[in-house]
């Protein structure tokens, strides 16, 4: 599915588009260290923004089956639809999502919406120190959000993640990829054959997305230089969140759309029979 809305938009695009009644700002702050994204939202957010909870709105409970493996499995389509409706997001809305981490968390919502044919974009740079914030919670009607199945062509499984015919890009920070630290998952390291492209290194020091030419250079260095190559990408991370950022930037750079491995390292590392690689080399 193609979208009329680009995957990444700037403040000028947002200012112009907010004049349209169908644009919804979504605050998707979340923290690996356990801090509350909702508390951060309540303390101050962009005017008009609704809060979307990564753990409850954008993920299903962890379970034993392959579809619920990992820390943030994709929710059932009906559950996702119900969550969006509760947040005031409907079928015809354009969603612009942000966080305070350069979009690496908010990308999960944007990817989920775009993958199911909805209009959504990531706000380049996210929250800025100079932003005027509010504590006012917007009141939105409960619109219709129709459940749509996750498209098979946008989802990867374990077999795809270990297939050496794919290009597996691991979006985690380098120290986690190398296996030097592992704060949350059962084992350190990475999927053998996976290449490291840390999501946060695709941003400037101001949290803006790198220029397209630089993104293309970075992808090309890992063997992804054309849309055909991009379509062979399997994007992984810790639990299928920052991996969505990689996929949005792949599309932003005109290099195809790739596939998300929702379970990512959190699912893979839970199976002790699967080999793990450590260090800088893919393995």
Which whole number is the average pLDDT over 150-170? 96
* Residues 86 and 167 grouped into a single domain: no
* Residues 143 and 163 grouped into a single domain: no
Decide which of 150, 173, 195 is a domain's last residue.
150
- pLDDT exceeds cutoff 80 at 102: yes
Phi, psi of 106, rounded to the nearest 5 degrees: -60, -20
Structural domains of the chain, count: 2
Average pLDDT over the chain, rounded to an integer: 95
How many Å apart are CA 276 and CA 129, to the nearest integer?
40
Q: Report H helices in the chain.
A: 11-17, 37-43, 54-57, 77-86, 107-115, 158-161, 174-177, 212-220, 227-230, 242-252, 264-268
* Residues 54 and 173 grouped into a single domain: no
* Residues 73 and 134 grouped into a single domain: yes
Decide which of 106, 134, 150 is a domain's last residue.
150
Decide which of 135, 150, 165 is a domain's last residue.
150
- pLDDT exceeds cutoff 80 at 40: yes
* Residues 34 and 65 grouped into a single domain: yes
* Residues 131 and 256 grouped into a single domain: no
The pLDDT value given to residue 8: 98
* Residues 160 and 127 grouped into a single domain: no
As a residue count, the chain comes to 283
* Residues 117 and 139 grouped into a single domain: yes
Q: Which residues are catalytic?
A: 237
The pLDDT value given to residue 62: 80
- pLDDT exceeds cutoff 90 at 69: no
Residue 229 lies in a domain: yes
Residue 58 lies in a domain: yes
* Residues 233 and 126 grouped into a single domain: no
Q: Which domain holds residue 96?
A: 8-150
- pLDDT exceeds cutoff 60 at 255: yes
How many Å apart are CA 30 and CA 100, to the nearest integer?
9
* Residues 129 and 27 grouped into a single domain: yes
- pLDDT exceeds cutoff 60 at 1: no
* Residues 34 and 158 grouped into a single domain: no
How many Å apart are CA 283 and CA 280, to the nearest integer?
9
Give per-residue pLDDT as tens, 80-92.
999 999 999 999 9
The pLDDT value given to residue 2: 63
- pLDDT exceeds cutoff 90 at 148: yes
Q: How confident is the model at residue 122 (pLDDT cuts 50, 70, 90)?
A: very high
* Residues 16 and 140 grouped into a single domain: yes
Domain of 216: which CATH number?
A: 3.40.250.10
How many Å apart are CA 283 and CA 279, to the nearest integer?
8
Give per-residue pLDDT as tens, 191-244.
999 999 999 999 999 999 999 999 999 999 999 999 999 999 999 999 999 999
Residue 219 lies in a domain: yes
Of the chain, the percentage scoring pLDDT greater than 90 comes to 92
């Amino acid at each position: 599915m193609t979208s009329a809305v680009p995957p990444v938009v700037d403040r000028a695009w947002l200012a112009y588009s907010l004049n349209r009644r169908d644009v919804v700002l979504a605050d998707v702050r979340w923290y690996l260290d356990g801090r509350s994204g909702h508390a951060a939202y309540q303390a101050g957010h962009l005017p008009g923004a609704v809060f979307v909870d990564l753990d409850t709105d954008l993920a299903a409970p962890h379970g034993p089956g392959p579809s619920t493996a990992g820390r943030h499995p994709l929710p059932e389509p009906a559950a996702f639809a119900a969550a969006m409706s509760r947040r005031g997001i409907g079928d015809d809305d354009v969603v612009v999502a942000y966080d305070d981490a350069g979009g690496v968390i908010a990308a999960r919502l944007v990817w989920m919406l775009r993958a199911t044919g909805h209009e959504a974009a990531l706000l380049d740079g996210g929250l800025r120190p100079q932003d005027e914030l509010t504590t006012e919670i917007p009141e939105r009607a409960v619109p219709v959000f129709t459940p749509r199945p996750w498209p098979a062509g946008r989802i990867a499984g374990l077999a795809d993640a270990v297939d050496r015919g794919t290009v597996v890009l691991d979006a985690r920070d380098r120290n986690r990829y190398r296996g030097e630290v592992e704060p949350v998952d059962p084992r350190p390291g990475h999927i053998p054959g996976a290449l490291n492209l840390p999501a946060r290194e695709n941003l400037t020091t101001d949290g803006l997305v790198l220029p397209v030419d630089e993104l293309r250079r970075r992808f090309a260095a890992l063997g992804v230089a054309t849309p055909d190559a991009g379509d062979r990408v399997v994007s992984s991370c810790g639990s299928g969140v920052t991996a969505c950022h990689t996929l949005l930037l792949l599309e932003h750079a005109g290099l195809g759309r790739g596939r998300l491995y929702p379970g990512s390292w959190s699912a893979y590392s839970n199976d002790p029979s699967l080999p793990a690689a450590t260090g800088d080399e893919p393995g």
